[in-house]
């Protein structure tokens, strides 16, 4: 009898010891450093079971053991708290850390950087190549209605929702800047400001030049001289599909088109790009100059002139600089007879 009792207690003791050892081993593996060597993003789809999530994490190299992850999550009481979404997992994250990330609901935030001066067609193309945005854009937005900026989004956000945010941002920005405009400028509407800003945006990438170039355009319009902006030629010749343009040739300057400022006076009928805040502000607060001309200076900027004679000198300098290089756009062939 005493022997049987001893055997019972011995077996019970060994069982408890083994279970305790197993639990300790499982927990140690659960909090141990994971195998992931580079930060990565993982998408947890809605409706997936804990077992399927564990297998996916293992397949993508985030955790060492799907069974340890599943046991750890269940033991922590978190099996029903994992939220769908895209998450960023740091390198060497333990299974426990992965669990905490997936139950936090703090999904990975992506960025869409929209550079200044893109056409609306180019913006949509950029979105189509951005991972995580879903849906189709049914209609290309009107030119000049999207504000270039950095937009944050989560996996599964729609392209149309991002475009709507861009449109709202542009409307707010234009309204704010128009209200604070220089009262001496001759533009009549915010729409005209966006048109001129879209040309300034394509003429220079230097912030310090924007207001100076705007002053040239104002001065030319005041004297009845065509703007003669090369970017408007590209927009006209390609009918807005500017990516198709390889090289401007002289005959393009004579293209009869409502956007070609070599053949029309004043502003084109609409924007040729989506300008950024800096270009809109420059147009609404132009420099006060007498300059009527500008040409590239070979450093990425421009040199300005108030007379055609000085402009021709600058053109000759530019030709010397660019000699032997393939020209991608024409030097402005402005004629003295245009001056008034």
Dihedral in degrees, nearest 10, Cα atoms 215, 192, 120, 276: 40
Query: Quick one: pLDDT at residue 14?
Result: 40
Query: Quick one: pLDDT at residue 249?
Result: 81
Do the Cβ atoms of 41 and 85 come closer than 8 Å?
Answer: no
Within 10 angstroms of residue 177's Cβ, the number of other Cβ atoms is: 19
Within 10 angstroms of residue 32's Cβ, the number of other Cβ atoms is: 14
Within 10 angstroms of residue 155's Cβ, the number of other Cβ atoms is: 19
Q: Going by C-beta distance under 8 Å and a sequence separation of 6 or more, which residues neighbour residue 93?
A: 34, 36, 62, 101
The C-alpha atoms of residue 97 and residue 113 are separated, in whole angstroms, by 30
Query: Quick one: pLDDT at residue 336?
Result: 38
Strand partners, 150: 113
Backbone angles phi, psi at 88, to 5 degrees: -100, 125
Name the token pair of 340.
Answer: 């008034």
The C-alpha atoms of residue 46 and residue 83 are separated, in whole angstroms, by 8
Do the Cβ atoms of 44 and 33 come closer than 8 Å?
Answer: no
* 3-class state of residue 278 by DSSP: helix
Picking from 123, 196, 186, the residue whose alpha carbon sits closest to that of residue 159 is 123
Name the token pair of 90.
Answer: 């740091």
The C-alpha atoms of residue 258 and residue 268 are separated, in whole angstroms, by 6
Query: Quick one: pLDDT at residue 8?
Result: 46
* Domains in the chain with CATH codes: 28-104 (3.30.1490.480), 110-168 (no CATH), 182-338 (no CATH)
Query: Quick one: pLDDT at residue 281?
Result: 98
* 3-class state of residue 29 by DSSP: helix
Query: Quick one: pLDDT at residue 243?
Result: 86
- The alpha carbon of residue 3 and the mean position of all alpha carbons in its chain are separated, in whole angstroms, by 79
Name the token pair of 309.
Answer: 């004679």
Query: Quick one: pLDDT at residue 339?
Result: 39
What average pLDDT values come out for the chain (340 residues) when binned by 10 residues? 46 43 75 94 94 96 96 93 94 95 93 97 96 94 97 94 97 98 96 98 94 97 96 93 80 92 96 98 97 89 92 88 56 41
Query: Quick one: pLDDT at residue 321?
Result: 78
Q: What single string gives the DSSP state of each residue in 184-215?
A: T----SHHHHHHHHHHHHHH-S-HHHHHHHHH
Angle at 106 (CA atoms; ends 103, 109), nearest 5 degrees: 145
């Amino acid at each position: 009898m005493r022997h049987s009792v001893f055997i019972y207690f011995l077996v019970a003791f060994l069982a408890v010891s083994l279970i305790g050892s197993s639990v300790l081993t499982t927990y140690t593996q659960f909090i141990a450093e994971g195998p992931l060597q580079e930060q990565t993003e993982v998408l947890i789809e809605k409706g997936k079971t804990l077992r399927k999530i564990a297998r996916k994490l293992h397949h993508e190299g985030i955790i060492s053991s799907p069974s340890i992850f599943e046991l750890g999550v269940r033991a922590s009481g978190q099996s029903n708290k994992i939220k769908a979404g895209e998450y960023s997992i740091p390198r060497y994250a333990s299974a426990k850390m992965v669990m905490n990330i997936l139950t936090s609901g703090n999904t990975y935030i992506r960025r869409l950087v929209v550079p200044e001066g893109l056409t609306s067609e180019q913006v949509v193309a950029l979105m189509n190549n951005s991972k995580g945005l879903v849906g189709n854009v049914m209609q290309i937005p009107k030119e000049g209605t999207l504000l270039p900026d950095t937009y944050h989004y989560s996996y599964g956000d729609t392209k149309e929702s991002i475009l709507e945010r861009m449109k709202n941002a542009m409307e707010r920005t234009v309204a704010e800047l128009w209200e604070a405009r220089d009262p001496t400028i001759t533009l009549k509407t915010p729409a005209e400001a966006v048109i001129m800003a879209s040309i300034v945006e394509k003429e220079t990438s230097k912030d310090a030049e924007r207001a100076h170039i705007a002053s040239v355009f104002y001065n030319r319009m005041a004297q009845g001289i065509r703007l003669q902006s090369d970017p408007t030629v590209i927009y006209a010749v390609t009918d807005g599909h500017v990516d198709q343009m390889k090289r401007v040739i002289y005959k393009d300057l004579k293209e009869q088109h409502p956007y070609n400022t070599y053949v029309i006076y004043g502003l084109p009928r609409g924007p040729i790009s989506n300008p950024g805040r800096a270009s809109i502000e420059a147009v609404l607060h132009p420099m006060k100059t007498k300059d009527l001309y500008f040409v590239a200076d070979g450093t990425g900027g421009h040199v300005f002139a108030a007379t055609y004679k000085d402009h021709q000198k600058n053109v000759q300098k530019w030709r010397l600089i660019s000699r032997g290089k393939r020209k991608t756009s024409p030097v402005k062939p402005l004629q003295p007879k245009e001056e008034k």
